[in-house]
Structures are given as structure tokens and as C-alpha cells.
Structure 1
Amino acid sequence: MSSESGQNESETLPARIRRWIGSRWRRFNAWRRGRPFLGGLLLCLAGLLITWVPMRILPDIAFIGGEMAGFLAIGALFGVFVFLSGLYALSRPARAHGAGVVGIILSIFSLFGSLGGLLVGMLLGILGGNLCIAWKPSGDAVDEAVSEPSVIDKAAARINAGFARLVGTIVLGCRAGLERITRRGTDE
């Protein structure tokens, strides 16, 4: 009988492992869906590429001494900050828009200090930053044509209508004044 119970335990072990892996995978997918995962991942990869280029050259130039060491150090810092903006987008999804903007700007500036990670890092940073800017949480994905305007939209429409009336009044006054001036000019 002990061989049967041992056989049952060995059969259930893969099932336990599959359940354990499956639960972990579901948790990861739930975490991933709640944030700009691909955008943050591309920003992190871009940061690594942007940092890699000056770190390959910087030790040699720093040892020899040269004016390029400062540019390379700044390029390495740009890469580190692009990487950190990707991590920030992943850890704070509510602020992914700002992290994307910072990632794009630093990726473009990395062109000066580290050749933009041989241009590949810069392009990945721009793409990742754009994905972070464009990302919206799944709860916010509501069709705008179906939803009613918000209170802010209604207030903005009232302000816009009032502004249009004011501009219309000013335009009519200006036209009347111009007509008076042209009549005076023709009368004289």
C-alpha cells in the first residue's frame, strides 16, 4: 500500500507545481495589466543601452584624461535616468504620463552624451515614453461617444460660449467703427 500512496503523491506533485505556477502567472498578468508594462520595459531597456555605450569608453578616457570624459559621464547619467523613469512608470502607473515625457526628453538628450545608445537606445526610449504617455488604465477605457460630458466639460462649454459671445460683440463693435470711419472718409 505504501507504493500506491507514494505513486499518488508523485502524480499530484506536477499538478501542485502547475497550480503554483498558474497562480503566480495570473498574479503577474493582473499586475502587468494595471500598468504601462511595455512602455516601462522599453524605457528600462533603452536606459541600459544608453548607459552601456559611455561605460565602455569612459574608463579608458578617464584614465588617459580628456575633455570627453565629462560628456560621457553626462551620457551615462542620461541612461541611468531613462532607466529610472521606466521603473517609475512601472511602480507608479498613475504618473506614467510624466515618466513617459521625462523618458522621451532624456532619450533625445542622450544623443549628445552617449550617441543615444548607438541610436537604438534613443529610439527605444522614445517609443517606450510614447507608450507610457498613451497608456490608460483599463477602468478609464470608456467610449467617449457613449459617455456623458463631465461637469468640467460642461463648464468649459459654458465658458467657451460666453467667450464666443464676447468676441462676437467686440467684432461687431469693430465693424461698426470701421464703417463709421470709412463713411467719414468718403464724406470728406
Structure 2
Amino acid sequence: MLANFIILSLAATALSAPLSFFRRANPCFVTGSVALPAEVAEGLPALEAAPVTCNSNIQVAPGVPDIYSGGIEYSTIDFQKSSLSPVGFALATFKTPSNPETADLDTLQNQLNDYLALEAGVRSQPGSSALLDELKGPKFFLQFQIARVQTAQGVTLDDADTVSHQLEKVLANAVGATASEIAQVNALAKQV
């Protein structure tokens, strides 16, 4: 009888522990208190496994430290430092050879990892919607470039990962892009 009481007492104590006790800590780039959308949260384990790391001595967005993936620092590919539109910056920075099949897919993926981690970090901060709207242009452009490279390499892609689908995302998130920049993105979509 005493043994049953002890077991029930221990179980009640465990069940009354706060949920945060059972959750693992956020990645170094998720520093805010705002809950992440499911699709962003689901990508966190892959970013941690990449691995994406942080330098807390440098802040690249309010509350978000500098981010590193594959030796590429986000601060070296930060669209906010450019006078171009976010998509214009992406066109100038995240280039592929004329034959996308020969592009360095690892570099593009590490650059995308930096942007995905930045997005998670920014989303975790309250009042960050303006920056979030702007960073989607370069993020989707990187996804678009990866789709172009994979298509050129003969990889079969899911519908959500195709060049045409990623093109739509870039164009829908081309904040402040010029007609010339949009034309350049459309031209790249035909080079696969």
C-alpha cells in the first residue's frame, strides 16, 4: 500500500512539472519569446544538424546574433547592408554559372541555412514583421537557385520545390524590386 502511494506521489509530481522542463532549449538563433509557426519550427532540427551556429558578439537583427553555416557568416551576406532591393541584392550575391548544373550547391545551401536561421530568429522577436517581409525575397531567391541547380542536375523535385513554384514565391515577395530585377529573375527561370 505504501509503495503504491509513493509511486502515485512521484507520478503526480512529474505530471505537475512545467512543460518547459521537458522541452529542449531553442537553437542559439531563436532568442525571442514569440512562438514560431509550425513550418519554421519543423525546420529547426535540420538547421541545428547542419550545423548552424551563432556569434553572440554580433547582432544582425534586433535580438538575433550573427549566424554561421558551413563557414559562411550571415553578416557577410546580409541584404540589409545593400542599397539594392532585397531581390536585387540576391541577384547580385547568390549567382550561379550560366550552366546551373555546375553551381556549388553546398555554398547555396549554407547561404540558405543562414537565411532560414535568420528568419526563425526574427520570427521569434516581437514586432519584426517589416524585416520579415524583406528577408523573404533573398530566402526565396536562394530556394529558387537551389531548385534551378537541382533541376539542371536531373533531380526529381516535389511540386513545392520546383523552379516554377519557387519563382512564384520570389515574385510574390519581391519587396521594392525594380522591373529590371523582376525580368532578370524571370530570365533565370528559363535557364535550367
TM over 0.5: no
What TM bracket, shorter-length normalisation?
0.3 to 0.5
When normalised by structure 2's length, the TM-score is 0.37
Query: Which has the larger Rg?
Result: 1
* Larger helix fraction of residues: 1
